Chain A
Amino acid sequence: MEEIVFGIGITALAGALATVAGAAENTESDIGSQGDPNSQVQLAPQMGYIHRIFNKAVAGEPPAYGLWVALGAGLAWAFMAMQINPILAIVLGSALAVFVQGIYATTAYLGRTASLAKFGQPVYIDILKSMTTVTMAHAFVAIFTTVAMCHLMISALGHPFPLPLLGLVWGIALGAAGSATGNPFYGKERQYQSQKFGAGVPISASGNIVRYAEAGQRNSLDNGFFSAKLGGPASGICFGLIVFFELWRTVVFEELNIWGPIIVGVIVILIFAIIDRYIEVWARKAFGPYTAPEEASS
Chain B
Amino acid sequence: MSVKIEVGAGGIPHNQILIYGLVGSLVLIYLTYLNTITGTQYFSFFGGLAAVVALLWGTDTIKHLCSYGLGTGVPSAGMIALGSGVVAAVFGATTGIFTPIVTIIIAAIIGAVAGVLANNVVRMDIPVMIVSLIELAIVGAMTVLGLAAMACGTFEFLGMITGTAVILGFAVPSYEFSVIGGSIIAVIFMLGAIAIQHSFNACLGPGEKQDRTLMLAAECGFLSMIPVAIISFAFIGLLPALVALLVSIIGWIYTYVQYIALSKRDAYAWLDAKPILEPKGGA
- Chain A residues with CB under 8 Å of chain B are 36, 38-39, 42-43, 47-52, 57-60, 63-64, 66-67, 70-71, 73-75, 77-79, 81-83, 96-97, 100, 103-104, 107-108, 110-126, 161-165, 168, 211, 217
- Chain B residues with CB under 8 Å of chain A are 1-3, 72, 75, 78-79, 163, 165-166, 176-177, 181-184, 186-187, 189-191, 193-194, 197-199, 201-208, 212-213, 216, 219-220, 223, 226-227, 230-231, 233-234, 256, 259-260, 262-264, 266-279, 282-283
3 nearest A-B pairs in the assembled complex, by CB-CB distance: A115-B205, A111-B202, A74-B187
Partner pick for A100 among B181, B186, B223, CB 8 A cutoff = B223
**B275–A217 contact, CB under 8 A?**
yes
Write out the residue numbers on chain B whose beta carbons fall within 8 Å of the beta carbon of A164: 182-184, 186-187
Closest residue to A73 on the B side, CB-wise?
B187
7 interchain pairs (CB within 8 A)? A50-B283, A67-B191, A75-B231, A78-B230, A83-B166, A111-B203, A111-B212
Q: Smallest CB–CB gap between A152 and chain B, Å?
A: 17
**B227–A123 contact, CB under 8 A?**
no
Q: With A78-B233, A120-B268, A168-B186 as given contacts, are A58 and B194 in contact (CB-CB < 8 Å)? A: yes
Write out the residue numbers on chain B whose beta carbons fall within 8 Å of the beta carbon of A57: 1, 201-202
**B230–A39 contact, CB under 8 A?**
no
**A110–B259 contact, CB under 8 A?**
yes
**B223–A103 contact, CB under 8 A?**
yes
Interface of A is mostly: helix
Write out the residue numbers on chain A whose beta carbons fall within 8 Å of the beta carbon of B191: 67, 71
Q: Smallest CB–CB gap between A76 and chain B, Å?
A: 10
Write out the residue numbers on chain B whose beta carbons fall within 8 Å of the beta carbon of A81: 163, 165, 177, 182, 234
**A48–B267 contact, CB under 8 A?**
no
Write out the residue numbers on chain A whose beta carbons fall within 8 Å of the beta carbon of B208: 115
Q: A52-B276, A114-B207 are in contact. List 12 more A-B contacts (CB 8 A).
A: A63-B190, A73-B187, A78-B184, A81-B177, A100-B226, A110-B267, A115-B207, A117-B267, A122-B277, A124-B271, A125-B272, A163-B182
**B194–A165 contact, CB under 8 A?**
no
Most buried by B among A77, A100, A114, A165: A114
**B263–A63 contact, CB under 8 A?**
no
Q: With A64-B194, A104-B194, A104-B198 as given contacts, are A165 and B183 in contact (CB-CB < 8 Å)? A: yes
Closest residue to A83 on the B side, CB-wise?
B166
**A59–B198 contact, CB under 8 A?**
yes
**A114–B187 contact, CB under 8 A?**
no
CA distance A39 to B212 in the complex (A): 22
Most buried by B among A42, A67, A73, A217: A67
**A60–B184 contact, CB under 8 A?**
no
**A122–B283 contact, CB under 8 A?**
no
Write out the residue numbers on chain B whose beta carbons fall within 8 Å of the beta carbon of A217: 275-276
**A124–B272 contact, CB under 8 A?**
yes
CA distance A82 to B268 in the complex (A): 48
Write out the residue numbers on chain A whose beta carbons fall within 8 Å of the beta carbon of B207: 114-118
**B279–A120 contact, CB under 8 A?**
yes
CA distance A108 to B1 in the complex (A): 13
CA distance A118 to B205 in the complex (A): 9
Q: With A74-B184, A162-B181, A164-B182 as given contacts, are A126 and B190 in contact (CB-CB < 8 Å)? A: no
**B184–A77 contact, CB under 8 A?**
yes
**B1–A120 contact, CB under 8 A?**
no
Most buried by B among A48, A59, A77, A83: A59
Q: With A75-B231, A78-B231 as given contacts, are A115 and B277 in contact (CB-CB < 8 Å)? A: no
Q: With A39-B2, A42-B3, A82-B233 as given contacts, are A77 and B182 in contact (CB-CB < 8 Å)? A: yes
Write out the residue numbers on chain A whose beta carbons fall within 8 Å of the beta carbon of B3: 39, 42-43
Write out the residue numbers on chain A whose beta carbons fall within 8 Å of the beta carbon of B206: 115-116, 118-119
**A59–B183 contact, CB under 8 A?**
no
Q: Smallest CB–CB gap between B107 and chain A, Å?
A: 21
Q: Smallest CB–CB gap between B216 and chain A, Å?
A: 6
CA distance A162 to B183 in the complex (A): 6
Partner pick for B277 among A63, A64, A120, A161, CB 8 A cutoff = A120
**A114–B203 contact, CB under 8 A?**
yes
Q: Smallest CB–CB gap between A257 and chain B, Å?
A: 30
CA distance A75 to B182 in the complex (A): 11
Write out the residue numbers on chain B whose beta carbons fall within 8 Å of the beta carbon of A122: 267-271, 274, 277
Write out the residue numbers on chain B whose beta carbons fall within 8 Å of the beta carbon of A63: 75, 78-79, 190, 193-194
**B75–A117 contact, CB under 8 A?**
no
